[in-house]
Structure 1
Amino acid sequence: MLMARRALSPSQLAVVQAVRPCFDGPERGLVIGCSGGADSLALVAACANVDASRVLAVVVEHGLQADSLRIADATVEAVRGLGVAAEVRSVHVDTTSGEGVEAAARRERLVALVGDGKRPVLLGHTLDDQAETVLLGLARGSGAASLQAMAPSTPHLAGRLVRPLLGLRRSQVRQACLDWGLMPWDDPMNLDPAYLRVRVRHELLPVLDDVLGPGVVEALGRTATLARHDNDLLERLAADAQRDLVRGDSLDAVGLLHLYPALRGRVLRRWMIERGAQAPTMAHVQGVAALVENWHGQGGVDLPGGVRVHRIQGALVARSGDPE
């Protein structure tokens, strides 16, 4: 049954206007990640309002809850009622990997959604999700790279992730979902205080809103945008600087010393990853930076991935499986 055409409520109109630019690109089709929650259901309904024939809703079933398949099937049925093609993709989440259930589930979900990478994947993240991500990044203390949070469009694997609802509040998107007559599924994990994001959502943000006044979520969203612009520029400058400082397999330590700290750390991290280091932390970057900034003949620095960085004759050299 196709969704009836009728006047849109203000909330519905806002969501439709947010998704409409997604249909302006050259892609023949779009994939929508749909969990059955209010945000993703509203996203599907808005896309159906624009052009239902160009979208495929994918419900990723993680198998983490006893009735997850039933919920996935019910979501597919609701989506098809909007005139949108839908399917379930089941994944296995390794809960023993050490990265945490939430992170492991997110990784598997995105792999399933991207598929062959031929179609952009639309996700239902809102401005509230963005604000939560900024606060979590601030707590990690990892600078602009974390504060930039989620970009409206980002490459992932061989595809692209698009978040058209980042400028809208969660309450507005949920209201749009209800205005379309849809009954969203509320994941109990989103209420479990064992997850840090849940506590940020239900405990920290309300306190900030009460103490600092309304507009905190919007301000955090602006912070993410500004941090993203700054980080994009710094990353481009770091790439240029790295090209000037690479000497074969080594990196010019003397030249690094003349860079601003914001560029030096970025150059080091990029080079370390290229030389085989796996997900180096700020502590690893600082350890290698000490070979540049505080050189007194000390030994090398071990990095994750079995890489060790030495300073030899004014240059940094990275070796795999190198003994002390």
Structure 2
Amino acid sequence: MSAVAAVRKAVRDFLGTVELPAELCVAVSGGADSLALAEATANAGRLRQIPTRALVVDHGLQPGSAKVAEEAAARAKQLGVESAEVLTVRVEGRGGPEAAARTARYGALHEARGEALVLLGHTLDDQAETVLLGLGRGSGPRSLAGMRPYDPPWGRPLLGITREQTRLACAELGVEPWQDPHNADPRFTRARLRAEVLPLLEDVLAGGVAPALARTAAQLRDDTEALDTVADRILTRAGGSEGLDVAVLAAEPAALRRRVLRRWLLDSGVRELTDAHLRSVDALVVRWRGQGGVWLPGKLEARRGHGRLSLNGPEPTTRGE
């Protein structure tokens, strides 16, 4: 199978697993992954009679970025998408340049998409890098589970396609992808993982590291989703947004109990929830000695009283509002 055919099949297979939207958007950077995805999305759109639109984010982080963005939009249209637009963003905020750029990018894509599903060009190699990052940071199984193929409004059809396949697809299509200099800049963590860590692991472990990491992510994702389903049932039994019955929570294993607490806190409006926050709230359930409450981001306080956990402070907002 040619590389173009493999990418097209991945997109077709993905669309066969989701409810088809009225429009398909594809995020395009001008790199090989996104251009190969754009062509496959356009092909699938024609087959299914769904309009396709390319969204190109100009982060403004490099000289000439506006020209690069315009050229990426033009290439996407040459590859068959019906329309393309450039979204100019301002990269600022906490977490370093990589995190700030990601936040700005996703915000712009979300605002521009309307009701469309947005396809992203993350590949098997990106998934492997994500798992390694989570492992190195001790982020837990949810992070090691990597990126979901379908996480509305985002779709990632290429998680089983390698970066080399997208490069070959572009060569078959006769398009020259843009080489983002940031991808080779050792100041950025992902760039060093890509250029130094993964090649070393491939050498030491005699190959196959990226697919193995991607398989690990898929296995952990299945486990995490199963545990989350059980946790949702426990959350319903324990109460809900008005508070949680401590006795119900205390009877559950830690892995389930903390999932219940995590869902409750996020649904109640707590943002930037850390593992330390979660463990402190969990201590109100299993190591309570009459201690005071736990202050959480958003000036919310989790407290225990009369056998229940409650949140006090500013009026919580429901996730998604």
Residues 250 and 20 from structure 1, CA distance in 2 versus in 1: closer, same or farther, beyond 3 angstroms? closer
1:41 and 2:35 matched: yes
Distance 1:116 1:171 in 2: 29
Displacement, 1:293? 1.6
Distance 2:305 2:32 in 1: 57
1:16 and 2:13 matched: no
Q: Partner of 1:138 in structure 2?
A: 135
Q: Partner of 1:3 in structure 2?
A: none
1:82 and 2:75 matched: no
Q: How many correspondences in the alignment?
A: 309
1:103 and 2:96 matched: no
The 8 Å contact of residues 70 and 86 in structure 2, kept in 1 or not, is answered as no
How much is the aligned-residue C-alpha RMSD, in angstroms? 2.1
Bigger shift: 97-106 or 130-139?
A: 97-106
- Segments of structure 2 that go 5 or more residues without pairing to the other structure are 315-321
Distance 1:285 1:308 in 2: 12
Distance 1:18 1:28 in 2: 20
Bigger shift: 81-90 or 31-40?
A: 81-90
Q: Partner of 1:240 in structure 2?
A: 233
1:154 and 2:151 matched: yes
Distance 1:162 1:113 in 2: 12
- SS at the partner of 1:223? helix
Displacement, 1:22? 5.0
What amino acid maps onto 1:30 in structure 2? Answer: L
Displacement, 1:23? 5.4
The partner residue of 1:112 within 108, 114, 126 is 108
The 8 Å contact of residues 31 and 119 in structure 1, kept in 2 or not, is answered as yes
Q: Partner of 1:6 in structure 2?
A: none
What amino acid maps onto 1:78 in structure 2? Answer: R
Bigger shift: 305-314 or 281-290?
A: 305-314
Q: Partner of 2:317 in structure 1?
A: none
What amino acid maps onto 1:16 in structure 2? Answer: R
Residues 116 and 316 from structure 1, CA distance in 2 versus in 1: closer, same or farther, beyond 3 angstroms? same
What amino acid maps onto 2:273 in structure 1? Answer: P
Q: Partner of 2:67 in structure 1?
A: 70
1:281 and 2:284 matched: no
Displacement, 1:51? 4.5
The 8 Å contact of residues 127 and 165 in structure 1, kept in 2 or not, is answered as yes
Residues 137 and 31 from structure 1, CA distance in 2 versus in 1: closer, same or farther, beyond 3 angstroms? same
Distance 2:247 2:205 in 1: 46
Distance 1:245 1:57 in 2: 45
The 8 Å contact of residues 55 and 87 in structure 2, kept in 1 or not, is answered as no
The partner residue of 1:121 within 118, 121, 132 is 118
The 8 Å contact of residues 122 and 161 in structure 1, kept in 2 or not, is answered as yes
Displacement, 1:39? 0.6
Instruction: Show CA shifts across 1:177-206 (max 9, x none).
Output: 112111010111111111111111111111
What amino acid maps onto 2:173 in structure 1? Answer: W
Q: Could you tell me the TM-score, scaled by structure 2's length?
A: 0.89
- Percent identity over paired residues: 45
1:303 and 2:300 matched: no
- SS at the partner of 2:104? helix
Instruction: Show CA shifts across 1:1-28 (max 9, x none).
Output: xxxxxxxx62122112112235555434
Bigger shift: 215-224 or 117-126?
A: 117-126
Q: Could you tell me the TM-score, scaled by structure 1's length?
A: 0.88
Displacement, 1:172? 1.4
Q: Partner of 2:318 in structure 1?
A: none
What amino acid maps onto 2:100 in structure 1? Answer: A
- Segments of structure 1 that go 5 or more residues without pairing to the other structure are 1-8
Displacement, 1:111? 3.0
Bigger shift: 85-94 or 162-171?
A: 85-94
Distance 1:166 1:244 in 2: 36
The partner residue of 1:268 within 240, 246, 261 is 261
Residues 183 and 116 from structure 1, CA distance in 2 versus in 1: closer, same or farther, beyond 3 angstroms? closer
The 8 Å contact of residues 129 and 193 in structure 2, kept in 1 or not, is answered as yes
Distance 1:22 1:51 in 2: 13
What amino acid maps onto 2:55 in structure 1? Answer: V
Distance 1:259 1:15 in 2: 44
The partner residue of 1:185 within 178, 184, 189 is 178
1:31 and 2:25 matched: yes
Residues 88 and 26 from structure 1, CA distance in 2 versus in 1: closer, same or farther, beyond 3 angstroms? closer
The 8 Å contact of residues 127 and 170 in structure 1, kept in 2 or not, is answered as yes
Displacement, 1:269? 1.4
